[in-house]
Amino acid sequence: MFYTQLKSLCEREGVKPTPLIRSLGFSAGNIKRWENGATVNSDILIAVAEHFKVSVDYLLGRDEKYIGNANVSTGDIKDNHDVNINSTVQPCSVGELEREVCRILSELDTRRKTELMSMIYKFVDENK
């Protein structure tokens, strides 16, 4: 699944997978293995997710949402975690706890934000 997502994202950006993977500091020899279904290293997953501004879950095919280069601010929080960059996001009223979560989230780097969002999505899905 990773290879399919990588290929799709590269096509959207007009880049080829091989030069991209090399520019991120990884061996392009991995690409053929991923195409054949091999597991991708977590460092590569995080680097590719940061490059395309998508979640690791998206790259693994566990999350169908493509957020891409969307600029989402803390005022754009929705009641659920489905984000469509082509729609207008209506801000909701948030309490003190939600503001604190937003403050903490804003202080994290992209890698940590991706990890945290993956944990949140998993938690929500497990508690439906």
∠ Cα 120 25 37 (to 5°): 60
Cβ–Cβ < 8 Å for 2, 60 = yes
**In the chain, what are the domains?**
2-59 (1.10.260), 74-126 (no CATH)
pLDDT at 74 over 80: no
Q: Name the percent of the chain lying above pLDDT 90.
A: 15
Instruction: Report pTM.
Output: 0.52
pLDDT at 75 over 70: no
Name the pLDDT band for 63 (thresholds 50, 70, 90).
low
> What's residue 21's pLDDT?
92
Would you mind telling me the total number of residues written for the chain in this entry?
Answer: 128
> What's residue 11's pLDDT?
92
Cβ–Cβ < 8 Å for 71, 32 = no
Count CB-CB contacts under 10 A for residue 95: 7
Query: Of the ranges 5-14, 80-89, 95-104, 109-118, which one carries the lowest mean pLDDT score?
Result: 80-89
